[in-house]
Amino acid sequence: MECEYNDFAVDYQIAMAEKEPENNDDSLEEIRQRILESTEANLTSDSHKLTAWERVKLARHTDRPYTKDFIELIFTDFVEIHGDRRFGDDPAIVAGMAKFHGESCVVIGHQKGRTMKQRQKRNFGMPKPEGYRKALRVMKIAEKFHRPVFTFIDTSGAYPGIDAEERGQAEAIAYNLREMARLLVPVIVTVIGEGGSGGALAIGVGDKVLMLENAIYSVITPEGCASILWRDAAYAEQAAKALRLTAQDLLEFKLIDRIVPEPAGGAQGDYKKVAESLDVALQESLAAVRDLGDEERVELRYQKFRAMGEFEEGAAQSEGAGS
């Protein structure tokens, strides 16, 4: 069944697009037409029948709600913080103070952008080291003032350019992993679109990890995997299936804690509905860890991630190893 694009989603995207400086010269009708033209997609309404590759396409849908959309719909009094106090600001990461149902908190997330100007400005949601350092700077503020942290993951991966490598991309990601693992405040993570490798995990170490129903989370993109295994990116669909990157797979492997349902056809069809579902999931996830002692919460977080990747050797392998 074709996904009927929700009027609220269109109007909301127009309102958000008008706030972007690069859209100031565009008329309201031009923005509306551009958004409507990009929403055409024939997607089954039965989400259980979607293939892994179909979910990949949904996770990458240009009209899918991004971090700033969820901030607008779920949080109040958001004040963005810029810069890492070392090099500069990275628009690929949005971070700042907000309130969640009246409680002060911080919100951090990847931001891709929809128009070409927005995507270029935000580097297609691929952060550089200053983005991760900005994120950690905000997390440390949250820890200082005892505020919970909410992060939203939506990136194909950290930016692999030479300038990012020169400024310590790998070190910035590794440092975030260590520091997030021992933050003394509640950390709730949500994968809202693409969760790509260390670029996602750098803001993904939390007490509770949620995923939207059609989001994906993987160590590598299907195209990258296909290029390595089959030496041909055309095998991306097969790679997507083999990677087991869907929310359903990851819940089965106990790599995430909860799947947040999306409207039929995907989150891009009804921003308000998916935001309401996510709002409830965030409240319940925060309530589950809020009253724990700081040290207990950190220990549980450590054990949660320490248990990931456990495996058992088959009988044949064990016998071969012992002979």
Q: Mean pLDDT in runs of 10 for the chain (323 residues)?
A: 44 59 61 54 56 93 94 96 94 97 97 92 95 97 97 95 95 96 96 93 96 95 93 93 94 94 91 96 96 94 88 60 48
Burial of 42 (0-12, 13-18, 19+ CB in 10 A): exposed
What class, spelled out in words, does domain 46-307 have in CATH? alpha beta
* Among candidate residues 286, 296, 154, the one with its CA nearest the CA of residue 212: 154
Q: Would you state the pLDDT for residue 39?
A: 45
Q: Where are the alpha helices (DSSP H) in the chain?
A: 7-19, 28-37, 52-59, 67-74, 116-121, 129-144, 162-166, 169-181, 197-201, 222-229, 236-243, 247-252, 271-290, 294-306, 315-322
Structure confidence at residue 40 (pLDDT): 44
Token duo for residue 114: 């929809």
CA gap 203, 173 in Å, rounded: 9
- pTM across the whole model: 0.83
**228: helix, strand or coil:** helix
- pLDDT for 205 equals 96
Query: According to the model, what pLDDT value does residue 132 have?
Result: 97
Query: What pLDDT does residue 1 have?
Result: 32
Cα separation of 51 and 236, whole Å? 12
The SS3 call for residue 205 is coil
